[in-house]
Structure formats: structure tokens, C-alpha cells
């Protein structure tokens, strides 16, 4: 156990927790029942301060804080918000632990954070369920030919050819040559932690063979994975995959992991799904491969630049299913899971026990 007794000029003063979670996006704002749950868990020697000013929850969080938040953290020991801006660190000399309600942390690893003994924990795993369902639904969109169906519907064309004829009814639309069952697929998941593990469980439940890629392949494979390989085997696995799901964090080591050369290894029938970060793949090379018919399709929820610029060809390619970074959205599921994690960590913090989801600045996640 670790002694986390705070250094306070006035030992009789309460220990302070700041909640800065009033997201301007309604679905991400801490609901009243969530605030009540935190207050109910607070011991008598703790003060819970709730920032009413709106904050931004997009991306990794960490946008410039409100004046109210800056004032609230002045003597805070614990901060719970979307990311951790350097201005907050400088305004909070007693801050010891920050819990982010966002999963990504790359933009949060500032010199100010690294110079202080602040423990940073993230929301990894709390968004895994909706993101895994998104990945499965996106892959099914192309496996079942829903992109072709939508085009036929808009043209008022009752045309069964693409689904029943070997040659796609004379022309294979968007590379679709008949429906494929999930159980026929080999699925490659890059990143096997919370999101990747949830993806694997769902594809495996429908009969797919799922292979995971991670930095250290020696540990036991999580449920859903047939096996785990290291990054040195990525090229060979890409060439054999029907569906590729990118679920890894954005770090210097994963930047452009799926570049033009590796995209060239994929089968023409392959489907690429990105729910990780836009920096994981080369969008220009992906657009070129899709336009040339060298891939079946791409399901993209994250972009290298967000919002995606209007001039991007990805907007106009018929074999792209594109959403504006919403795969993690879950109106009813996120906050119960997030508060389970935070309240458990808060109890661990007070008891001097190891926290869950501690960020390793060296690894970048």
C-alpha cells in the first residue's frame, strides 16, 4: 500500500475532488444521478466540487479549461474531467491524481504533467462495448452488401443480381461479389486491450477466427482471440485477413501503422475498420486503394484531422462508411461504467492501493 496522505497547510481542511464533466455534448455530460452517486461515495473528510461551466469532451479532452475549473482546482488533490490541460496542472499545486473520462492520452502527456508526480488514469475499456458493436456493424455493412443495397434503393432498382449471381449480375458493385458470413472471415484486430478484446469477443461469437496483434505477444490470449502475434508478424497476418480492425492507441510507434505498403498487402475483398485513431493509417493511400477497387471497403470513425476536410476524397467514395467520431457514444451505458471505474479507483486512492488504468507516459497509453 502507498501512503497518499495529502500535504495540507491546514490538516483540518477537507481533501478536495473536482468534477469537471459538464460536457457541451449532452450524451457525454455527467448526469445528475451520476453526481449524486459520487457525492454519496464521498467520505466526511472530502469535499466534492462540481464545475458547472461547460467543457469540451472531444478527442482526448484536454481543451482549455473554464475560469470556474481553474478556480476549483486551486487546492484540489483529485481532478476528474475530460483530459488534463497544462493550465490546470499549473493552477493546482496540490494535485496528485487526475482521472480522465477520455480514453486517448497522447495529447495530455505535456511537459507540465511529466514534471509533476501526478498519477494519470484514463477511461480505457469503458467505451469498448459500443465501439465493438460499431466495428461489427460496419464490417457487416460490406459483408452483406448494404452499400450496394442503398445504391439500388436510391435508384429505385429491384436488382437481385449482386446477391445471387456469380458475376454480381454483370458488374460487381463496389467490389461486392455476394454476401459473406462472419464465420467465413479471418479477422485481424490491432490492439487487444479493452476495445480490441470486446471486438474479438463479438466476432468470435459469430464464428470468425480472430487474430490479435500487440507489442508483447507472449501473454495469454484474451477471450475471443484464437491467437496473439507480435508486430513482426503484422505483414503476414494482413495478407491473410478478411477484416482488419484498428483498435490501438495513437503513439509514435503506431503512427501510420497501416501505410501504403501495408495496404498493398491486403486482399481486394478486405474491409478496413478504424475505431482507434486517425493517425494509425495513411488516409491518402487508403483513399487511393479504395478508388482503384483494391479494397472492398473501409469503415472510418476517426480521422487524422477532425473534422474531416470537405475536400477529402473519403467523403465521396461509395465504398466508405464514414461517421464523425461517434463509435463510443452510448447514452445509457457510458456513465455507469465510467463511474464504476472512477469510484473503484477513488476507493483505491484513499486506501493506498494500486489504481486501474494508470497511463504509462513512456508507452504513450
Q: Helices 334-351 and 32-41: crossing angle, nearest 10°?
A: 20
Q: Is 277 a catalytic residue?
A: yes
pLDDT of 5 reads: 61
Task: Give SS3 for 291.
Answer: helix
**Which architecture does CATH list for 15-126+331-351?**
3-Layer(aba) Sandwich (3.40)
Question: pLDDT per position in the chain (365 positions), as tens?
Answer: 555 666 666 888 999 999 999 999 999 999 999 999 999 999 999 999 999 999 999 878 768 999 999 999 999 999 999 999 999 999 999 999 999 999 989 889 999 999 999 999 999 999 999 999 999 999 999 999 999 999 999 999 999 999 998 665 444 578 999 999 999 999 999 999 999 999 999 999 999 999 999 988 888 889 999 999 999 999 999 999 999 999 999 999 999 999 999 999 999 999 999 999 999 999 999 999 999 999 999 999 999 999 999 999 999 999 999 999 999 999 899 999 999 999 999 999 999 999 999 999 988 88
**Contact yes or no for 334/126 (Cβ under 8 A):** yes
Active-site hit among 186, 277, 296, 348: 277
Provide CATH 3.40.50.720 ranges for the chain. 15-126+331-351, 128-144+180-322
Q: Is the peptide bond before 54 cis (omega within 30 degrees of 0)?
A: no
pLDDT of 170 reads: 41
Q: How would DSSP label each residue in 296-350?
A: SEEEES--SSSSPPTT-GGGT-TTEEE-SS-TT--TTTHHHHHHHHHHHHHHHHH
Active-site hit among 15, 214, 325, 348: 325
Q: How many whole angstroms from its chain centre is CA 213?
A: 16
Q: Is 85 a catalytic residue?
A: no
pTM (2 d.p.): 0.93
* Superfamily of domain 128-144+180-322, CATH level 4: NAD(P)-binding Rossmann-like Domain (3.40.50.720)
| Among the listed residues 160, 241, 232, 234, the one whose alpha carbon sits nearest the alpha carbon of residue 203 | 241
- 3-class SS shares of the chain: helix, strand, coil, % to 5: 35, 15, 50
pLDDT of 3 reads: 54
Alpha-carbon gap, residue 28 to 99, rounded angstroms = 15
| Among the listed residues 168, 163, 169, the one whose alpha carbon sits nearest the alpha carbon of residue 146 | 163
Alpha-carbon gap, residue 297 to 320, rounded angstroms = 6
Task: Give SS3 for 172.
Answer: coil
Amino acid at each position: 500500500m502507498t501512503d497518499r496522505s495529502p500535504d495540507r497547510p491546514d490538516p483540518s481542511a477537507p481533501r478536495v475532488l473536482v468534477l469537471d464533466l459538464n460536457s457541451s455534448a449532452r450524451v457525454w455530460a455527467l448526469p445528475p444521478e451520476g453526481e449524486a452517486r459520487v457525492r454519496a461515495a464521498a467520505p466526511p473528510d472530502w469535499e466534492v466540487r462540481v464545475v458547472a461551466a461547460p467543457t469540451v469532451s472531444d478527442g482526448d479532452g484536454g481543451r482549455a479549461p473554464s475560469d470556474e475549473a481553474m478556480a476549483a482546482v486551486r487546492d484540489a488533490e483529485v481532478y476528474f474531467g475530460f483530459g488534463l490541460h497544462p493550465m490546470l496542472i499549473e493552477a493546482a499545486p496540490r494535485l496528485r491524481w487526475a482521472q480522465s473520462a477520455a480514453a486517448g492520452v497522447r495529447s495530455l502527456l505535456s511537459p507540465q504533467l511529466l514534471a509533476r508526480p501526478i498519477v494519470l488514469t484514463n477511461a480505457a475499456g469503458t467505451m469498448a462495448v459500443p465501439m465493438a458493436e460499431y466495428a461489427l456493424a460496419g464490417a457487416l455493412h460490406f459483408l452483406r452488401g448494404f452499400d450496394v443495397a442503398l445504391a439500388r434503393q436510391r435508384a429505385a432498382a429491384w436488382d437481385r443480381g449482386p446477391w445471387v449471381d456469380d458475376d454480381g449480375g454483370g458488374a460487381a458493385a463496389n467490389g461486392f461479389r455476394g454476401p459473406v458470413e462472419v464465420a467465413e472471415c479471418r479477422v485481424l484486430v490491432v490492439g487487444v486491450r479493452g476495445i480490441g478484446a470486446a471486438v474479438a469477443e463479438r466476432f468470435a461469437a459469430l464464428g470468425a477466427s480472430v487474430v490479435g496483434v500487440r507489442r508483447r505477444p507472449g501473454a495469454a490470449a484474451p477471450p475471443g482471440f484464437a491467437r496473439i502475434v507480435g508486430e513482426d508478424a503484422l505483414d503476414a497476418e494482413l495478407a491473410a485477413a478478411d477484416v482488419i480492425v484498428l483498435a490501438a492507441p495513437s503513439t509514435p510507434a503506431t503512427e501510420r501503422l497501416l501505410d501504403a505498403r501495408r495496404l498493398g498487402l491486403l486482399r481486394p475483398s478486405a474491409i478496413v475498420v478504424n475505431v482507434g485513431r486517425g493517425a494509425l493509417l495513411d488516409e491518402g493511400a487508403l483513399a487511393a486503394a479504395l478508388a482503384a477497387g483494391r479494397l472492398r471497403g473501409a469503415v472510418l470513425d476517426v480521422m487524422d484531422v477532425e473534422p474531416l476536410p470537405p475536400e477529402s476524397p473519403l467523403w465521396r467514395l461509395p465504398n466508405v462508411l464514414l461517421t464523425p467520431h461517434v463509435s463510443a457514444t452510448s447514452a445509457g451505458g457510458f456513465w455507469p461504467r465510467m463511474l464504476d471505474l472512477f469510484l473503484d479507483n477513488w476507493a483505491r486512492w484513499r486506501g493506498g492501493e494500486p489504481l486501474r488504468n494508470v497511463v504509462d507516459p513512456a508507452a504513450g497509453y
